[in-house]
């Protein structure tokens, strides 16, 4: 019988650099990748399965991911299909605040959210970068991402003209 | 830290997909590698259309610019070409002959003095990739005998108000159409041949729109109607004749989900439509003054969108239609009286949105149901007025 079984058992994950993190089953199931793994373990396996190794996520990033999934463990998550049509009508202020981090961390978070298959986190973190680009001039974008301006004046003028012929589909 | 260099292609695309088309075009100016990345990404380019328009031309096609366009890394999926002549069409042909084509949709309209041969050559560049063609207001001056290639992937074909509809023979070999629209005005009725050919060859057709202004003869043509052996889910027509109407709908009774007609003249037609149990969206057009003594319509619980013009019909007709489509969520109707509104609020429990067409000439004080009272009766319904 499952009388003594806690409703949200503990699960451990190990980062690529060998750090172990403890979280709960409900939280970790937000990751499509881990959900698939756990479903394959089958009956009675969760408590005895040991720590899940995540070779593509380092400890700094995993800590951030766990903070996010624990905060959202009770929220209904959109599927990756639903995310495609999603518009940014409302962003949870907690998420907005959570994503205040440097570009390096954001890139790692995007890569981890993709690997772990957490559509909502991937959507939020990629959107965060897009927001940094919106309403900026090309020069501002270059400085932000440290990109070299490799255009000649003639070349950029030609692309500007090509763009004038383009319309929204 | 340039994410386009660091992140996998798919993830950089995710980031840029949050931008609008204008913002994305702005981003192409950041660097050559960013421009190249966006230009070659089919996921990002799918929202951008390239427009050749001689009248609004900000960028005339000089020989220098032709070279630039040939060398540009952009791989457009959507092209629109309008108001150009044969020479210009040949220039565009030269450009795309030398580019990797991934064109999925082509819109050509308002072309004059074009020959069918030039058109056929032009389509020959895209016939393997193109999925949608909009071909409208084309006045072909020189008709050639054509030996055209097949459009293997063409799913949607729109033929709109082409003065010389014979140019449509370019499309005679389309065999995989899902949607066929032959709409607008057309001077020639000779086009029956191409319509029959297209209907014969395209058994997978799901959407058929024959809203031709002068298409009475086409729609009355027994040959055409008998060539619809397949199961449509969307059908639109402007003018219909009584003779074939019922037979057509009886053959399509289980498949049609969307129906749009210009007007309803006969009671039998209205009765047939209400027996279509998969019908989700119906626009009856103008409902004529029908004799409704002692008649009933089949209760149709599948209709969610209902639209009709009630200018001439009796209140009994409106009541009958409304009572027979009780699950309507969304209704569009000519302006209503207070009495009808009360009836709607009583019978249509699922109504979420109501659009009313109001003639500009109406004095709002004389309006049969003043707007404030509409809102108080239909409290949980979103109401929109369109002045016509």
> Which tokens go with A53?
């190794």
8 Å CB contact between B169 and B197: no
Which parts of chain B are beta strand (E)? 48-53, 78-82, 105-115, 132-142, 156-160, 179-183, 207-210, 234-237, 258-261, 263-264, 281-287, 305-309, 330-334, 353-358, 382-387
pLDDT tens, A95-129?
999 999 999 999 999 999 999 999 999 999 999 99
Distance CA B251, CA B262 (A): 20
- Asked if the C-beta of A151 comes within 8 angstroms of chain B's C-beta atoms, the answer is yes
CATH number where A145 lies: 3.30.710.10
Report yes or no on B57 lying in a domain. Answer: yes
Q: What percent of chain B has pLDDT over 90?
A: 40
Report yes or no on B313 lying in a domain. Answer: yes
Alpha-carbon distance A37 to nearest alpha carbon in chain B (angstroms) = 23
Q: Would the ipTM clear 0.90, i.e. be above it?
A: yes
Report yes or no on B94 lying in a domain. Answer: yes
Instruction: Give the CA radius of gyration of chain B.
Output: 25
Nearest to A145 among B3, B26, B51 (CB): B3
> Which tokens go with A117?
């298959």
- Judge whether residue B283 has pLDDT over 90: yes
pLDDT tens, B130-149?
999 999 988 887 777 777 77
Asked if residue B76 and residue B29 are part of one domain, the reply reads no
The range of the structural domain enclosing residue B100 comes to 48-176
Report yes or no on A169 lying in a domain. Answer: no
Q: What is the DSSP string of B273-329?
A: HHT-TT--EEEEEEEP----TT------SS--EEEEE-SSS-HHHHHHHHHH-TT-S
Alpha-carbon distance A129 to nearest alpha carbon in chain B (angstroms) = 7
Report yes or no on B36 lying in a domain. Answer: yes
Query: Burial, B178: exposed, middle or buried (Cβ in 10 Å; 0-12, 13-18, 19+)?
Result: middle
- Asked if the C-beta of B15 comes within 8 angstroms of chain A's C-beta atoms, the answer is yes
Domain boundary among B134, B152, B176: B176
Nearest to B35 among A127, A148, A159 (CB): A159
pLDDT of residue A2: 46
Report yes or no on A3 lying in a domain. Answer: no
For chain A, the domain total comes to 1
Asked if residue B371 and residue B313 are part of one domain, the reply reads yes
Domain boundary among B44, B59, B79: B44
**pLDDT: which is higher, B231 or B300:** B300
Element of type H or E holding A20: strand A20-24
Instruction: Give the CA radius of gyration of chain A.
Output: 21
Distance CA B179, CA B172 (A): 15
Report yes or no on B241 lying in a domain. Answer: no
Determine which of B2, B6, B15 to mutate to test the interface with A (most A C-beta atoms within 10 Å). B15
What is the maximum alpha-carbon separation in chain A?
76
- Judge whether residue A3 has pLDDT over 60: no
CA A124 to chain centre: 7
Report yes or no on A4 lying in a domain. Answer: no
pTM above 0.80, yes or no: yes
Whether residues A142 and B31 touch (CB distance < 8 A) is answered with yes
Report yes or no on B262 lying in a domain. Answer: yes
Spatial neighbors of A150 by CB under 8 A, at least 6 apart, are B31, B32, B33
- Judge whether residue A82 has pLDDT over 70: yes
Distance CA A149, CA B2 (A): 13
Distance CA B388, CA B383 (A): 16
Residues of chain A neighbouring B31 (CB-CB closer than 8 A): 142, 147-151
> Which tokens go with A127?
């959107």
Residue A64: what are its φ and ψ, rounded to 5°? -65, -45
Whether residues A107 and B27 touch (CB distance < 8 A) is answered with no
Asked if residue B385 and residue B299 are part of one domain, the reply reads yes
8 Å CB contact between B83 and B108: no
Spatial neighbors of B228 by CB under 8 A, at least 6 apart, are B199, B208, B248, B251, B252
Report yes or no on B72 lying in a domain. Answer: yes
- Asked if the C-beta of A30 comes within 8 angstroms of chain B's C-beta atoms, the answer is no
Spatial neighbors of A15 by CB under 8 A, at least 6 apart, are A21, A54, A57, A58, A59, A61, A62
CATH number where B8 lies: 1.20.1280
Nearest to B14 among A126, A150, A164 (CB): A126
8 Å CB contact between B259 and B300: no
Distance CA B24, CA B35 (A): 10
CA dihedral of B163, B164, B170, B171, whole degrees rounded to 10: 50
b/e sequence A86-123, b meaning 16+ C-beta within 10 Å = eeeeeeeeebeebbeeebeebbbbbbbbbbbbbbbbbb
Q: Which of B139, B154, B280, B283 is nearest to B211 (CA)?
A: B283
Distance CA A68, CA A80 (A): 18
- Judge whether residue A146 has pLDDT over 60: yes
Whether residues A155 and B2 touch (CB distance < 8 A) is answered with no
For chain B, the domain total comes to 3
pLDDT of residue B239: 64
pLDDT of residue B72: 93
Is the four-CA dihedral A21, A24, A27, A29 of positive or negative sign? positive
**pLDDT: which is higher, B200 or B94:** B94
Q: Which of B213, B209, B189, B193 is nearest to B201 (CA)?
A: B193
Q: What percent of chain B has pLDDT over 70?
A: 87
Asked if residue B80 and residue B111 are part of one domain, the reply reads yes
Helix, strand and coil in chain B, % to nearest 5: 35, 25, 45
> Which tokens go with A119?
């559509």
CATH number where B293 lies: 3.80.10
Nearest to A138 among B26, B72, B105 (CB): B26
Nearest to A138 among B8, B18, B29 (CB): B29
Report yes or no on B188 lying in a domain. Answer: no
8 Å CB contact between B232 and B258: no
Report yes or no on A118 lying in a domain. Answer: yes
């Amino acid at each position: 019988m499952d009388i003594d079984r806690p409703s949200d058992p503990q699960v451990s994950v190990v980062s690529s650099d060998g750090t172990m993190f403890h979280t709960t089953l409900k939280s970790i199931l937000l990751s499509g990748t881990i959900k698939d793994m756990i479903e394959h373990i089958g009956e009675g396996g969760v408590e005895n399965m040991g720590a899940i190794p995540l070779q593509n996520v380092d400890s700094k990033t995993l800590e951030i991911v766990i903070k996010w999934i624990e905060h959202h463990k009770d929220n209904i998550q959109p599927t990756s299909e639903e995310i495609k049509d999603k518009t940014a009508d409302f962003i949870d202020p907690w998420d907005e605040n959570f994503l205040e981090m440097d570009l390096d961390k954001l890139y790692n978070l995007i890569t981890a959210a993709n690997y772990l298959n957490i559509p909502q986190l991937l959507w939020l973190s990629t959107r965060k970068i897009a927001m940094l680009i919106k309403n900026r001039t090309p020069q501002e974008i270059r400085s932000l991402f440290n990109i070299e301006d490799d255009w000649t004046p003639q070349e950029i003028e030609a692309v500007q003209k090509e763009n004038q012929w383009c319309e929204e589909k | 830290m340039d994410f386009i260099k660091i992140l996998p292609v798919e993830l950089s695309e995710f980031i840029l997909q949050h931008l609008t088309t204008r913002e994305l075009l702005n981003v192409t100016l950041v660097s050559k590698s960013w421009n190249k990345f966006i230009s070659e990404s089919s996921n990002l380019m799918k929202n951008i259309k390239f427009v050749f328009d001689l009248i609004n031309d900000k960028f005339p096609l000089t020989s220098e610019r032709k070279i630039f366009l040939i060398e540009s890394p952009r791989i457009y999926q959507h092209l629109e070409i309008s108001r150009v002549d044969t020479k210009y069409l040949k220039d565009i042909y030269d450009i795309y002959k030398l580019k990797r084509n991934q064109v999925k949709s082509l819109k050509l309209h308002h072309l004059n003095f074009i020959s069918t041969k030039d058109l056929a050559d032009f389509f020959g560049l895209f016939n393997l990739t193109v999925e949608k063609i909009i071909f409208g207001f084309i006045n072909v001056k020189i008709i050639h005998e054509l030996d055209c290639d097949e459009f293997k992937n063409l799913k949607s074909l729109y033929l709109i108000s082409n003065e010389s509809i014979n140019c449509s023979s370019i499309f005679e070999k389309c065999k995989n159409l899902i949607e066929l629209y032959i709409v607008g005005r057309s001077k020639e009725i000779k086009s029956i041949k191409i319509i029959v050919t297209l209907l014969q060859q395209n058994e997978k057709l799901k959407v058929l729109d024959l809203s031709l202004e002068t298409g009475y003869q086409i729609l009355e043509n027994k040959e055409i109607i008998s060539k619809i052996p397949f199961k449509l889910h969307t059908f639109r027509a402007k003018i219909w004749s009584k003779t074939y109407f019922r037979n057509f709908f009886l053959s399509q009774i289980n498949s049609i989900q969307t129906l749009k007609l210009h007007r309803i003249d006969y009671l039998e037609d209205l009765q047939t439509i209400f027996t279509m149990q998969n019908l989700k969206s119906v626009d009856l057009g103008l409902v004529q003054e029908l004799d409704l003594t002692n008649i009933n319509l089949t209760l149709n619980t599948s209709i969610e969108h209902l639209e009709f013009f009630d200018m001439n019909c009796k209140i009994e007709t409106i009541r009958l239609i409304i009572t027979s489509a009780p699950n309507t969520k969304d209704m569009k109707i000519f302006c209503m009286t207070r009495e009808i509104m009360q009836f709607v609020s009583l019978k249509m429990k699922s109504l979420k949105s109501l659009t009313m067409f109001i003639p500009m000439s109406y004095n709002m004080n004389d309006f049969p149901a003043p707007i404030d009272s509409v809102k108080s009766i239909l409290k949980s319904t979103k109401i929109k007025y369109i002045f016509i």
